[in-house]
Structure 1
Amino acid sequence: MSEINLGVTLFCYGTEYARYEYDFAECVKQAALAGATGYEIVGTQMLPDYPNVSDEFLGLIQSLKAEYGIGPVGYGANNDKGMMHDRNLTDDEMLADTIIDLKTAHQLGCKVMRAQYMLSPQAFERLAPYAELYDIRVGIEIHNPESPLSPLMKEYLAVIKKTKSQHLGFIPDFGCFAIAPNQAQWIKALEAGVSEEHLQQAAKMRYDGVPLKEAQANLVAQGAHPAIQTVLQGMYGFVQFKPKAELPRLLNELEEILPYSFELHGKFHYLGEDLVEPSIPYKEILAVVQDSDFSGYLICEYEDELYCGGTEFTKRQLQMVKQLIKS
Structure 2
Amino acid sequence: MSDIKRCVSLYSYQDEFYLGKLDLEGCLRETAATGATGVELLAEQMIRKFPLPIETKDFRDQWFEWMKKYNLTPACYDAFLENHIYDNRTLTLKEQVNMMNRDIRLASLLGFPVLRTLVSTPMDVIEGSLPYAEEMGVKIGLEVHAPFSLNSGWADGYMEMIKRTGTKFFGFVPDMGIFCKNIPDVVRDKARRHGAKEECIKIVDDAYAKRVANGFTKIKYDLNLGKANMEYRMANGMAEMMDAVKAAGGGPADLEYAGSSFTYSWSEPQDIIDNIDYIFHTHAKFYNVHEDLEETAVALPEVIEAYKKAGYTGFLSSEYEGGEHLRADLDVDSIEQVRRHQAAMKKYIGK
State if a TM-score over 0.5 links the two structures.
Answer: yes
- Please point out which of 333, 345, 351 is paired with 1:309: 333
1:215 aligns with 2:241: yes
TM-fit CA distance, 1:128: 1.4
Secondary structure, counterpart of 2:148 in structure 1: coil
C-alpha displacement at 1:91, in angstroms?
A: 3.5
Comparing 286-295 and 100-109, the one that deviates more = 286-295
> Which of 135, 145, 156 in structure 2 is aligned with 1:154?
156
SS of the residue aligned with 2:4? strand
After TM superposition, list the pairs within 5 Å mapping 1:216-231 onto structure 2.
216-231=242-257
Partners of 1:210 and 1:148 lie apart in 2 by: 17
Counterpart in the other structure of 1:111 = 113
Deviates further, 50-59 or 32-41:
50-59
Work out the CA distance in 2 between the residues paired with 1:179 and 1:153.
21
Is 1:281 matched up with 2:295?
Answer: no
How far off is 1:201 after superposition?
Answer: 0.7
Report how far residue 196 of structure 1 moved: 2.8
- Equivalent positions of 1:36-51 (< 5 A) are 36-51=36-51
2:314 aligned with 1:296: yes
1:28 to 2:22 alignment: no
Secondary structure, counterpart of 2:108 in structure 1 = helix
Q: Which amino acid aligns with 1:310?
A: S
Structure 1, 158-167 or 30-39: larger mean CA deviation? 158-167
Native 8 Å contact 2:74 2:113 kept in 1: no
- Unpaired segments ≥5 residues, structure 2: 212-234
User: How far apart are 1:71 and its partner, in Å?
Assistant: 4.2
Q: Which amino acid aligns with 2:181?
A: I
Aligned to 1:6: 6
Residues 231, 64 of structure 1: alpha-carbon distance in 2 compared, 3 angstrom cutoff: same
Q: Partner amino acid for 1:263?
A: H
Q: 1:82 to 1:230 in 2, by over 3 A?
A: farther
Structural mapping, 1:161-200, within 5 Å: 161-200=163-202
RMSD: 2.1
> Residue type of the partner of 2:39?
Y
**1:16 counterpart = 2:16:** yes
Q: CA 1:210–1:103 in 2, change beyond 3 Å: closer, same or farther?
A: closer
How far residue 31 of structure 1 moved from its aligned partner, in angstroms, is: 0.5
Please list every run of 5 or more consecutive structure 1 residues that lacks an aligned counterpart in the other structure.
Answer: none
Structure-2 change in CA distance of 1:100 and 1:293 (3 Å): same
Check if 1:319 corresponds to 2:321.
no
SS of residue in 1 equivalent to 2:173: strand
Partner Cα separation in structure 1 for residue 317 and residue 120 of structure 2: 21
Task: Write the distance in 1 (CA, Å) between the matches of 2:83 and 2:155.
Answer: 18
Looking at structure 1, the residues matched to 156 and 238 of structure 2 have their Cα atoms a distance apart, in angstroms, of 26
Using a 3 Å threshold, how does the CA distance of structure 1 residues 118 and 93 change in structure 2: closer, same or farther?
farther
Distance 1:38 1:240, change over 3 A: closer
TM-score (norm 1): 0.90
Q: Measure, in 1, the Cα distance between the counterparts of 2:63 and 2:315.
A: 19
Taking the TM superposition and a 5 Å limit, the aligned residue runs for 1:200-211 are 200-206=202-208, 207=210, 211=237
The CA deviation at 1:255 is 1.3
Answer yes or no: is the 8 Å Cα contact 1:121–1:155 preserved in 2: no
Are 2:287 and 1:263 equivalent residues in the alignment? no
The farther-off stretch of 92-101 and 45-54 is: 45-54
Amino acid at match of 1:288: A
Cα distance in 1 for partners of 2:246, 2:86 equals: 36
TM-score by length of 2: 0.85
**Aligned residue identity for 1:14:** Q
> What is the CA distance between 1:49 and its match in structure 2?
3.0
**In structure 2, which of residues 255, 260, 267 is the aligned counterpart of residue 234 of structure 1?**
260
